[in-house]
Structure 1
Amino acid sequence: MKVGYKNFEIEVIDDENYNLNSTDNLRQYQKVYYKGKNQEDGFSPTSKHAVIIRESEVEISSVLVCEAGGATGIHDNSFIIEDDKIWIRVSNKIYCLKIPSLEIIWQKEFDQFTNFCFYKLEEDFLIHGELEIFRITKNGEIIWCFGGRDIWVNPEGSEELIIKDNVILLVDFESNRYILDFDGNLLEDIPK
């Protein structure tokens, strides 16, 4: 996925075939962030997401961010770019990277298992995790979190999180419905 930002082209991709510590990778990155255990110990990242920044079609920085939590891919709600920063969701973590250097400003685990996606909410972010919904500041501080009766995955095809008309509409695994205000207060609890 490619996005224009100021005079940069920022590309965010899923590089699932990248092997840590191998010279045979199709693509090399200037930096690789992975705090997990060594692959030799039987631990390997489940998610490998790359950010590549180009200026005038010349690559000026690149990074591969790896995590061993729940597997995630890249889509529209995987990252947010503004204020010379990119916030990217990788497994159960959010990384805040400086543009254009891609140095880590902060990284933090939120949901215990997986952060499916995240959204801009006023001046903050809303994270759709597997177990909880989080509202966080741009600095990664948790403002509030909310958990339902079950996980935030719905096998019946209902959209699990919708931001609409100054409320947050949620649907859990059992199709229980919840309505929150932007302060995390439960306005309605509608069991299935």
Structure 2
Amino acid sequence: MMKVNYKNFEIELLDDPNYSLNSADNFRQYKKVYFQEKRQENCFYPESKHVIIIKEFGIEISSSIICEVGWAMNVTEDSFIIEEDKIWIIGCSEIYCLEIPTLELIWQKDYNSFALFSIHKLDDDFVIHGELEILRITKEGEIIWSFGGRDIWVTIDGKNVFTIENKSIRLFDFESNEYVIDFDGKQIEDNPRIISPEIKNK
């Protein structure tokens, strides 16, 4: 669980992996349940179940759970941003923008990137590290630009895939190809991984 103090509110963010949609047997119920699947709910078991609880002076005033089908992802310090009486939070391939303190839905959008891993402030916008694309979006969810590489933005060698630097973003894809882009999404560097002839011939 994570706790964030914002104005007079204490905001708790956690996961509830045992929560079942439309069940009266859940350990706890939430005032708002967000689940965007258009198909029959009883046929689906969301992997990501992110909970937001808002308290004022120690008293709970609102709560919500965001359920999404896709990747089983946990809430992290990089999966949400709180400011301007709003919270933007990732749920699998979607971003939800909720009002604080009511947790009413302002907007929700699917970015079709399989999974979104993190969201970061970039000037007056946000930049998102997605599996398929790096995206810059407005606070209203509109895409300003997107950038894709030769492979997905995931590595298995422990290398930091996504780093915001002074005036650029440094990226590594699954094949360890390196890219540097500016804040306008334009590529500054392209450093393909060099594979030695010995490895190629194996």
Structure 1 segments (4+ residues) deviating >2 Å: 37-41
CA contact (8 A) 1:111 1:132 kept: no
RMSD: 0.9
Question: Aligned-pair distance for 1:69?
Answer: 2.3
Mean Cα displacement is larger for which, 65-74 or 174-183?
Answer: 65-74
Unaligned runs of 5+ in 2: 194-202
Question: Aligned-pair distance for 1:10?
Answer: 0.4
Mean Cα displacement is larger for which, 81-90 or 66-75?
Answer: 66-75
Q: How many residues align?
A: 191
Aligned to 1:121: 122
The answer to whether residue 190 in structure 2 is matched with residue 189 in structure 1 is: yes
AA of the residue aligned to 2:101: P
Aligned to 1:80: 81
Report matched runs for 1:1-192 at 5 Å.
1-36=2-37, 37-41=39-43, 43-192=44-193
Please say which structure displays the higher CA radius of gyration. 2
C-alpha separation between the residues in 1 aligned to 2:15 and 2:83?
A: 21
TM-score by length of 1: 0.97
What is the DSSP-based 3-state SS (H/G/I as helix, E as strand, rest coil) of the residue aligned with 1:189? strand
Unaligned runs of 5+ in 1: none
Question: Aligned-pair distance for 1:39?
Answer: 4.1
- Cα deviation code 1:144-191 (max 9, x no counterpart): 000000000011111110001111000000000000000000000000
Identity %: 58
